[in-house]
Chains A and B, each alone.
Chain A
Amino acid sequence: MKTLIALIPALPMISFLILVLFSGKLSRKVAGWIGAGSIGIAAVLTVIVSVDLISALPEIKSYQITLWQWMSVGNLSADISFRLDSLSLVFCFVITFVGFLIHSYSIGFMDKDEGIIRFFAYMNLFVSSMLILVLADNILLVYLGWEGVGLCSYLLIGFWYKEPENGTAARKAFIITRIGDTAMIIGIFILFLSFGTFNIQDIMHLASAKWVAGSSIATITAVLLLGGALGKSAQVPLQTWLPDAMAGPSPVSALIHAATMVTAGVYLIARTNVLFSLAPIVQGFIAGIGALTLLIAGFSALTQHDLKRILAYSTISQIGYMFLALGVGAYSAAIFHFMIHAFFKALLFLAAGVVILVLNEEHDIFKMGGLRKKMPAVFWTFLIGSASLSALPLVTAGFYSKDAILWFALSSTSGGVVLWIAGIVGAFLTALYSFRMIFIAFFGEAKTQPSFQAGYLMTIPLVVLAVFSLFGGFIELPASLGNFHLFSNLINQSLPVVGIKNVEHLEWLFQLISSLIALSGIYLAYLFYYKKPVFIDSFNHSKIHHFFEIGFGFDKVYDILIVRPVVWLAEIDKKDFIDQINISISNMALIGNEVLSIAQNGKLRWYLLTFAFGIAVILTYMMTK
Chain B
Amino acid sequence: MILIYLILILLAGALLAWISGNLNHVLPRVITLVTLIVDLVWLIIYLLQTVAFSNKWLIDVQHHWILQFGIGVHFALDGLSLLMLLLTFFLGIISVLISWKEINSRVGFFHFNLLLILAGIVGVFLSLDLFLFYFFWELMLVPMYFLIGIWGHENRTKAAYKFFLYTQASGLLMFISILALYFVHGNSTGIYTFDYIQLLGTHMSASTGLLIMSGFLAAFLVKLPVVPLHNWLPDAHTEAPTAGSLILAALLLKTGAYGLLRFIVPLFPIASSSFAPIGMILGVIGILYGAKLAFAQTDLKRLIAYTSVSHMGFVILGVFSFNELAYQGVVIQMIAHGISTGALFIMAGQLSERIHTRDINKMGGLWEKAPFMGAIGLIFSMASLGLPGLGNFIAELLILLGAFKSNVLMSVLACIGLIAATLYSLRILQKVFYGVKNTDWKMNDLSIREKTIAVSLVIVIAGLGFYPQPVFNIAKPALLKTLDEHNEKTQLNSENLKVETDLKSKLYFYK
Contacts and interface: CB of A to CB of B under 8 A. Distances in A.
Given A73-B398, A164-B435, A174-B426, 16 more contacts: A70-B469, A71-B472, A72-B472, A147-B387, A171-B430, A174-B422, A175-B419, A178-B418, A182-B419, A186-B411, A189-B404, A190-B404, A192-B401, A570-B296, A573-B293, A578-B227
Contacts, number: 122
16 contacts: A70-B469, A71-B472, A73-B398, A146-B388, A147-B387, A151-B387, A161-B365, A162-B368, A164-B435, A175-B419, A185-B418, A186-B415, A189-B400, A193-B405, A570-B296, A571-B296
B411 to A, nearest CB: 7
B467 interface: yes
A68 interface: yes
Interface in A115-166: 118, 140, 143-144, 146-148, 151, 154-155, 158, 161-164, 166
Nearest to B382: A151
Contacts of A179: 419
Contact of A574 (B297, B388, B468): B297
Contacts of A166: 434
A161 B435 contact: yes
Interface in B183-238: 227-228, 230-231, 234
A113 interface: no
Contacts of A158: 434
A182 B416 contact: yes
Interface in B453-494: 466-469, 472, 476
Given A73-B325, A571-B296, A175 B231 contact: no
Contacts of B418: 178, 182, 185
Contacts of A76: 325, 398, 401
A193 B430 contact: no
Interface string A557-579: 00000000010011101101011
A167 B434 contact: yes
Contact of B324 (A73, A144, A148, A189): A73
Interface string B71-98: 0000000000000000000000000000
A578 B423 contact: no
Interface of B: 227-228, 230-231, 234, 292-293, 295-297, 323-325, 328, 365, 367-368, 371, 375, 378, 382, 385, 387-389, 393-394, 397-398, 400-401, 404-405, 411-412, 415-416, 418-419, 422-423, 426, 430, 433-436, 466-469, 472, 476
A624 interface: no
A69 interface: yes
Contacts of A570: 292, 295-296
Interface of A: 20, 68-74, 76, 80, 118, 140, 143-144, 146-148, 151, 154-155, 158, 161-164, 166-168, 171, 174-175, 178-179, 182, 185-186, 189-190, 192-193, 566, 569-571, 573-574, 576, 578-579, 582
A148 B462 CA distance: 13
A72 B470 CA distance: 10
Contact of B411 (A189, A578, A582): A189
A70 B423 contact: no
Contacts of A74: 323-325, 328
B404 A193 contact: yes
Contacts of B378: 155
B472 A162 contact: no
Contacts of A186: 411-412, 415
A60 B63 CA distance: 66
A162 B436 contact: yes
Contacts of A182: 415-416, 418-419
Contact of B469 (A72, A190, A574): A72
Contacts of A118: 371
A174 B325 CA distance: 28
A613 B84 CA distance: 63
Contacts of A569: 292
Nearest to A121: B375
B367 A573 contact: no
Nearest to A576: B293
B388 A147 contact: yes
B231 A578 contact: yes
Given A144-B389, A178-B422, A80 B466 contact: yes
Contacts of A571: 296
Contacts of B398: 73, 76
Contact of A189 (B230, B323, B382, B401): B401
B400 A164 contact: no
A193 B423 CA distance: 29
Nearest to B291: A570
A402 B371 CA distance: 45
A68 B469 CA distance: 10
